[in-house]
A and B are shown apart, each in its own frame.
Chain A
C-alpha cells in the first residue's frame, strides 16, 4: 500500500554511538541454532544526526557523498515502507571513524529514522535493526538505544531481550594499538571453539542478571571475560597491563570493541570516591602509553561529569 498520503517535507532524527561491545560471540537461540551476537555498550555523548527531504526523483542523494551505507539504508527504508521516489539525505556526525564507535551504524540508523520521520511513521527498533543489517551487512544494537539486547549483528534479529537498560556506569575509554583504526568489514569473522561458544552462554546469563538487578559488577565480569576471549581473535596490545590497572582501581571490569581499537574500564557510577579514582586511572593509562583517554557516562540520567 502506498503511503504517499502520509508524506511530509523533511524528517530529522539522530542515533547514538557506542563504545564497542560488552560481550560478543556465538550464542544459541531457543531452538539450539547458533548465531553470532553482541551486546552493545551505548554512549549518548556522541551522535549522528540525519535529515531527509523527500523529492519526486527516484534517487536518494546523500551529503556528504561518501556515506554510501546511509544512502542504501534510506533507499531500503523507502522500499520497506512501500514508498516510491527519493530524497536528499544530509548527515552530520561527530563520531570518530574506524575505532569501534559504530560511526557507520549511527549514520545508518539516523538515516532510517529520518526517512521514517519524513513519512510520519514510527518504526520499531527491531525493524530498524533489520534494515541496518540489510544496508551494511553487519550492524550493532544501537537501534535499541540504551535498551539491552543480545543482537544477531549479521541477521538483524534479537536473540535475547534483557528487558531493561544497562546499569548506570562510568566508562574510562581509550584507544589501543597506538590508536590505529580498524576496518571492520575487512576483518574475518572470529572462529570460536566449542569451549568459547559454551562460555558465551554463561556470559549472556551474567548480562541478563546484571540488567535485572542493575548490577554493574556482574556486567563488568561478563565484559572482562568476553574481552579475554577477544584477545585470541583480535589481540590488543597492553591488555594484561590494563587488566591489572582495572583490578587495582576496583573497576567492575574491562571492556573492548571486539572489532575496533577501543578499550574501556567500567566503574559503578554510584561507587564512592569515583572522581578521584577515575582521574588516577586515567593518569595510569596515559602513563602506560595509551592515547585519547575519555570519560563516558552510561544511563546517567542527565548527570554531567
Chain B
C-alpha cells in the first residue's frame, strides 16, 4: 500500500522521507538530468558551438541521454547516443529512438559495460561532422555548475543542510551540489555512494549489477576533495530500498536512488539532530522491466536478500568492514571524527575555486 506524506504534495521536488528518517529530505524529480543537459546545451549555443542542425553525440544509455534527447528534439538538433548493449534494454532504446535519437549499442563481450571502442566510435562520428558537438557529461564543468539549482532547492526546502548524500556516476550531481552548499555551509559532510567494482574510489573494475553506478574511467567532474566518506552499496539492497521508496513514499525511483536513500537513511538515523539531504537522480520507468519486474527479480540468484528489520546505524558497522548490505571505505575521517567535527565547529578544507566556463 502506498502512503503519501502531506509534504509530498506540498513540494513534489523535495519530499521529506519521513518513513525512512524524520530528518531526511530528498531531491527526487523526474529527469533531474535536464538540469545539466540544458545548461551544457545553452552554454554551447551561446558560445556558437551549437548551431541549428548540429549533431550532438554522447556516450550514455541513462537519464542524461533521455534529457539530451528531449532537448535535442525540441531544439531540432540531431543526436547520436553510443552505448553498450548490456547497458540498454530494447524498450528504452525504442523510446529514445521515438524521440529522435540514434542509438548505437556496441557489443559488450565481457558484459561489464566497459567495452573498448565506444569513444573511438564517438570520435569517428565527430570527425565526419563539421557541426558535431560532444556534450561531455563526464568532463564538462557545466555538468556540476548546473547543480547549483539543486543546492537552491534543498535550501528552500530545508534551510540548513548538515549532510549531503548522493551517488557518484559522472560526479556532476553530488560534487556540484556539494560545492555550492559548502560555500554557505562550511561544515557540510558529504557522503558519496558508489557500487562495487567501480574505479571511482579505487576499486578494481569488473562486472557490476547496479546499472547507472560504477565507472571504468575517472571523470573530471568527480572531485574527491569534496567527499568526506564513501559508501559502496550492492545491487540487492539498492533494489530493496527502491521498492521501499515506492511502497512508503509513492516515489517511483531507480536502483541508484535506492542506493542513495539507503545510505541517507543510515546517516539520518545516526545523526538524528542533523538535516540530511539526499539526491535521487533516476526515475523508475526505465527499470520497470527489471527492478520492478517480479519475474526478473525471481531469476536473480539469492534474491530476495534478507532485509534488516530495523535500519542499522553507521556506528554499529566497523569501518571498512564488508557486510551483507553494504561496504564502507572511510576516506578521510571515521564517523566519530565527523561527529566530533560537528560538535567542535571545525571548518573543513576550503572548496577549490570554481572553474570558469
Interface residues on A, range: 20 to 34
Question: Known: A195-B355, A202-B183, A206-B184. Is A218-B148 also a contact (CB below 8 A)?
Answer: no
In the bound complex, do residue B159 and residue A218 qualify as a contact, i.e. CB atoms below 8 Å apart? yes
Surface stretch bound by B, among A12-20, A104-112, A207-215 = A207-215
Within the complex, the shortest CB–CB distance from A262 to chain B, in Å, comes to 22
Question: Per a CB cutoff under 8 Å, which of B141, B152, B354, B356 touches A205?
Answer: B152
In the bound complex, do residue A202 and residue B148 qualify as a contact, i.e. CB atoms below 8 Å apart? yes
In the bound complex, do residue B183 and residue A199 qualify as a contact, i.e. CB atoms below 8 Å apart? yes
Q: 1/0 per position for B318-349, CB-CB distance to A under 8 A?
A: 00000000000000000000000000000000
Question: Per a CB cutoff under 8 Å, which of B142, B159, B356, B357 touches A209?
Answer: B159
Question: Chain B contacts of A221 at CB under 8 A?
Answer: 184-185
Question: Known: A203-B184, A222-B184. Is A198-B156 also a contact (CB below 8 A)?
Answer: no
Question: Chain B contacts of A194 at CB under 8 A?
Answer: 43, 141-142, 145, 354, 356-357
Question: Per a CB cutoff under 8 Å, which of A193, A196, A201, A225 touches B149?
Answer: A201
Q: Is A204 an interface residue when CB atoms closer than 8 A count as contact?
A: yes
Question: Per a CB cutoff under 8 Å, which of B43, B146, B159, B180 touches A199?
Answer: B180
Q: How far is the CA of A203 from the CA of B181 in the complex (A)?
A: 10
Q: How far is the CA of A225 from the CA of B186 in the complex (A)?
A: 11
Interface residues on B, range: 20 to 34
In the bound complex, do residue B155 and residue A202 qualify as a contact, i.e. CB atoms below 8 Å apart? yes
In the bound complex, do residue B148 and residue A199 qualify as a contact, i.e. CB atoms below 8 Å apart? yes
Q: Is B151 an interface residue when CB atoms closer than 8 A count as contact?
A: yes
Instruction: Mark out the residues of chain A between 186 and 236 whose CB falls within 8 Å of any chain B CB in the assembled complex.
Output: 193-196, 198-199, 201-206, 208-209, 213, 215, 218, 221-222, 225
Q: Is B160 an interface residue when CB atoms closer than 8 A count as contact?
A: yes
User: Interface of chain B, helix or strand or loop or mixed?
Assistant: helix
Q: How far is the CA of A10 from the CA of B339 in the complex (A)?
A: 66
Question: Chain A contacts of B181 at CB under 8 A?
Answer: 202
Question: Chain B contacts of A193 at CB under 8 A?
Answer: 354, 356-357
Question: Known: A198-B145, A199-B148, A225-B183. Is A205-B155 also a contact (CB below 8 A)?
Answer: yes
Residue of B nearest to A221 (CB): B184
Q: 1/0 per position for B175-197, CB-CB distance to A under 8 A?
A: 00000110111000000000000
Question: Known: A204-B152, A206-B155, A215-B159. Is A198-B180 also a contact (CB below 8 A)?
Answer: yes
Q: 1/0 per position for B134-176, CB-CB distance to A under 8 A?
A: 0000000110011011011101100110000000000000000
Provide 25 A-B residue pairs closer than 8 Å at the C-beta atoms, listed in order of the A residue: A32-B42, A194-B141, A194-B145, A195-B145, A195-B355, A198-B145, A198-B149, A199-B148, A199-B354, A201-B151, A202-B152, A202-B155, A202-B180, A202-B184, A203-B184, A205-B151, A205-B153, A205-B155, A209-B155, A209-B156, A209-B159, A215-B159, A218-B159, A218-B160, A225-B184
| A-binding residues in B (CB < 8 A) | 42-43, 141-142, 145-146, 148-149, 151-153, 155-156, 159-160, 180-181, 183-185, 354-357
Leading 9 A-B pairs by shortest Cβ distance = A195-B354, A198-B148, A205-B155, A194-B357, A205-B152, A193-B356, A201-B152, A221-B184, A205-B156
